[in-house]
Amino acid sequence: MTWALWGFALLGCSLASASGVYRLDDALGLASEFDGIGALSGGGATSRLLVNYPEPYRSQILDYLFKPNFAAALQILKVEIGGDAQSTDGTEPSHMHYEDDENYFRGYEWWLMKEAKKRNPNIKLIGLPWAFPGWVGRGENWPYDYPDVTAYYIVSWIIGAKRFHDLDIDYIGIWNERSFSSKYIKLLRYTLDKQELQRVRIIASDNLWEPISFFMLVDSELREAVDIIGAHYPGTKTVPSALQTKKKLWASEDYSTFNDEVGAGCWARILNQNFVNGKMTSTIAWNLVASYYEDLPFGRCGLMTAQEPWSGHYTVNPPIWITAHTTHFTQPGWYYLQADGHLEKGGSYVALTDRQGNLTIIIETMTHDHSKCIRPLLSPYFVSPQKATFHLKGSFSKLKSLHTWYSKLEFNSPNSTLFQSLGPINVSEGVLTLNLGLDEVYTLTTLTAGFEKPFPDPPASQPFPSDYKDDFNIRNPPFSEAPNFADQTGVFEYFVNVSDPGEHVFTLRQVVTQRPITWVTESEHPISIIGNYKWVNLTITCDIYIESNDGGAFIAGRVNKGGIYAKAAKGIFFWVFPDGTYRVTGDLGGEEVLMKGLSGVRAKAWHTLTLILTGTNASGMLNGNPLWANVTITDPGNGWAAIGTHTFEFTQFDNFHVQAN
Ligand SMILES: *[C@@H]1O[C@H](CO)[C@@H](O)[C@H](O)[C@H]1NC(C)=O
Ligand SMILES: *[C@@H]1O[C@H](CO)[C@@H](O)[C@H](O)[C@H]1NC(C)=O
Ligand SMILES: *[C@@H]1O[C@H](CO)[C@@H](O)[C@H](O)[C@H]1NC(C)=O
Ligand SMILES: *[C@@H]1O[C@H](CO)[C@@H](O)[C@H](O)[C@H]1NC(C)=O
Ligand SMILES: *[C@@H]1O[C@H](CO)[C@@H](O)[C@H](O)[C@H]1NC(C)=O
Ligand SMILES: *[C@@H]1O[C@H](CO)[C@@H](O)[C@H](O)[C@H]1NC(C)=O
Ligand SMILES: *[C@@H]1O[C@H](CO)[C@@H](O)[C@H](O)[C@H]1NC(C)=O
């Protein structure tokens, strides 16, 4: 470095640090258009328990998430397009289990999108598949060999959303965190256009910045087809090739952090810095609401927690109020102002305008250890208390005051300050000065958005009922799946057999008959878990009906793994097969056989299985008679109850009953 440059650098540095002055001036020209803050339901089954909350709590939770100017006030809702396969914390049902099948009333994502739209008609909707039913790949574990079939499958979902639910899907993705195919993306664009769905924009590839950006730079047709480059967990940074495409850049999945104060710190930091460092104009949290059993992978990595439909208990966690700092005072379609965005002594600021004179400034001063996200690794940095002076110029030079909203995340004392109004702050001749502390968020805004009082506290937390029954006898169930059952492989749906003489008209049926195009290595044995992970001693009874000679069914207790780890689950599994045999295994994979013998079970007949677990002693009954006993079990010590099947075959379940003590 020459002396001249050295001097210049010193001067530049000392000027900025001494002053801590930041200029906000729309006359300099605006930066990018802001596309909104969102969250993701699914990927997978993350809203599973929400749907069965009793009122008024379910509506309250939805208000906390979607109601404008209330709490999170989300601007984007992204949902999984169910693919009948495990997608992190469970499976979500497809709208086309089989090639000749179409049903747009399965699962809960349709319902959730409608509830979101009811509260905020302007909320943007995104659909993205994690997995696909097996027929889409014609038996191959790959969705791009028949790209026309895949495009037809995806576009059908968009058309079904409109036809059956009056939902306009705004954005569609490719294949979550897996390979993309340029040929498929172009064909998807072509298929959308042919269906007059030009308005549906394509996001690609919901993985890393590259190679999609690179492919777009060398393939103009691909560049035309893709509207938004969506990267996951970008660590607030982008890459030159992504910038060179001149496309919108989004953190199309981010956050994924336990929803305590550190999670809130993570969220506050990335909401600002994804734009400041990476020019991203939207950030989408995985996940929307932690509504899955907490002992599944990534427990409580939602913006709030609602994992107890049996008690009605939920918690509004700090990330909800961090979201409010941006969403109450911006809209998709606003513009970021040009600004460096880094605060002199650590932290960041962004400023946005509606181009009609409104201004919103969001400032965060999150310290390193209090804002680590689950990924990627956060390099060390320092933040100190500092004075920040904002010079408002251009359209904002005449502003006399700004409304101020404040949060401070506390780590040593019990309570954080979350999204409190500090009233108006005076702006004197376009100058505004703040003394910023650590782990704080400020919003300064011209908007006078109201803020309603939250609801009274929900009921207290309760464990899952220790005596739980479901006979599935429900006409016109509001959802296709029975409450509290959390499918981990396969799909278990309400089923009605009108020809049944009476006892088993209404049942629960495993309906996936072909291994799906998977997102993770999943179990070969469909399984749905239920109950309390802490359960040790219990009696499970369930009627089973194996429909095919290639099938088999089980009930299980102390099941210790689910989600992406379901394949490796251990527990005590009591299986029966239509060849008249039974087996007791210590694992879902069926490797560890603890007992086996004859049972007389056959296909197309109802049988009642009972599994009794007491301390280290397991025993089983068939149709109320002892079948096996005195099997010694030591591991695992606790876990969920479960039902399941041996293969991807139709199998029915009825009169489920679990008693734990
Ligand atoms: C700001 O937004 C409000 C509400 O949308 C609008 O009424 C007002 O005209 C806008 N402009 C200014 C300068 O407040
Ligand atoms: C923290 O919040 C709880 C619950 O709102 C309240 O009972 C308690 O008094 C608060 N503690 C402090 C130190 O403010
Ligand atoms: C802000 O300005 C108003 C009106 O000029 C004045 O009454 C008030 O005292 C000022 N507040 C502060 C904190 O300076
Ligand atoms: C429905 O019930 C009838 C009469 O019991 C039985 O023959 C038939 O196999 C059942 N169908 C299914 C799909 O369970
Ligand atoms: C389970 O049962 C065994 C044997 O009766 C008993 O020793 C143990 O305390 C029980 N465990 C729990 C958690 O109830
Ligand atoms: C199980 O153990 C009990 C107590 O030791 C014994 O009475 C019973 O006969 C055994 N049952 C079987 C089927 O082995
Ligand atoms: C194990 O449990 C079964 C069923 O409750 C019971 O019949 C049996 O005696 C128990 N065995 C031992 C060794 O306690």
Residues 484 and 377 in one domain: no
Does 654 fall in a domain?
Answer: yes
Residues 352 and 496 in one domain: no
Does 4 fall in a domain?
Answer: no
- pLDDT greater than 90 at residue 4: no
Q: Which residues pair with 576 in a beta bridge?
A: 553, 582
Can you read off the two tokens belonging to residue 311?
């008690």
Can you read off the two tokens belonging to residue 615?
């301390």
Does 382 fall in a domain?
Answer: yes
- pLDDT tens, position by position, 315-363: 999 999 999 999 999 999 999 999 999 999 999 999 999 999 999 999 9
Q: How far, in Å, CA of 470 to CA of 480, rounded?
A: 14
CA of 448 to the centre of ligand 1 (A): 9
Q: What pLDDT score does 414 carry?
A: 85
Q: What pLDDT score does 31 carry?
A: 98
- pLDDT tens, position by position, 86-132: 999 999 999 999 999 999 999 999 999 999 999 999 999 999 999 99
Residues 431 and 478 in one domain: no
- Decide whether any atom of ligand 2 lies within 6 Å of the 415 Cβ: yes
Residues 630 and 611 in one domain: yes
Ligand 4, atom 4, residue with closest C-alpha:
500
- Which of 258, 293, 326 is the last residue in one of the domains? 326
- pLDDT greater than 50 at residue 14: no
Q: Which listed ligand is nearest to 618 at the C-alpha?
A: 7
Residues 436 and 580 in one domain: no
**Which of the four pLDDT bands, split at 50, 70 and 90, describes residue 16?**
very low
Can you read off the two tokens belonging to residue 390?
């904002």
CATH number for the domain harbouring residue 13: 3.20.20.80
Atom of ligand 2 nearest to the CA of 413: 13
Residues 90 and 188 in one domain: yes
Written as one string, the DSSP assignment of 586-625 is: EETTS-SEEEEEE----TTSEEEEEEEEETTEEEEEETTE
- Which of 445, 478, 506 is the last residue in one of the domains? 445
Residues 148 and 296 in one domain: yes
- pLDDT tens, position by position, 563-576: 999 999 999 999 99
Does 334 fall in a domain?
Answer: no
143 contacts 132 by C-beta, under 8 angstroms: yes
Q: What pLDDT score does 453 carry?
A: 80
* Positions marked catalytic: 177, 253
Q: How far, in Å, CA of 77 to CA of 463, rounded?
A: 30
Ligand 2, atom 1, residue with closest C-alpha:
415
Does 614 fall in a domain?
Answer: yes
- Decide whether any atom of ligand 5 lies within 6 Å of the 536 Cβ: yes
Written as one string, the DSSP assignment of 340-389 is: --B-TTS-EEEEEE-SSS-EEEEEE---STTS--SSSPPPP-----EEEE
- pLDDT tens, position by position, 138-155: 999 999 999 999 999 999
Residues 253 and 363 in one domain: no
Residues 232 and 311 in one domain: yes
Q: Which helix (H) or strand (E) holds 152?
A: helix 147-165
Residues 219 and 77 in one domain: yes
CATH number for the domain harbouring residue 559: 2.60.120.560
- Decide whether any atom of ligand 1 lies within 6 Å of the 356 Cβ: yes
| Farthest CA pair distance, the chain | 95
> Stretch 204-231: mean pLDDT, rounded?
98
Does 459 fall in a domain?
Answer: no
Ligand 7, atom 12, residue with closest C-alpha:
630
Counts of helices then strands in the chain (DSSP H, E): 10, 36
Mutation pick for ligand 1 pocket among 330, 356, 397, 447 (CB with most ligand atoms within 8 Å)? 356
What domain range is 352 assigned to?
Answer: 9-29+344-445
- Which of 293, 326, 359 is the last residue in one of the domains? 326
Does 453 fall in a domain?
Answer: no
Does 296 fall in a domain?
Answer: yes
Q: How far, in Å, CA of 21 to CA of 17, rounded?
A: 8
Please give the order of strands across the beta sheet that includes 417-426: 30-33, 335-337, 348-353, 359-364, 440-445, 401-408, 417-426
Total structural domains within the chain: 3
- pLDDT greater than 60 at residue 15: no
Residues 161 and 271 in one domain: yes
Residues 354 and 417 in one domain: yes
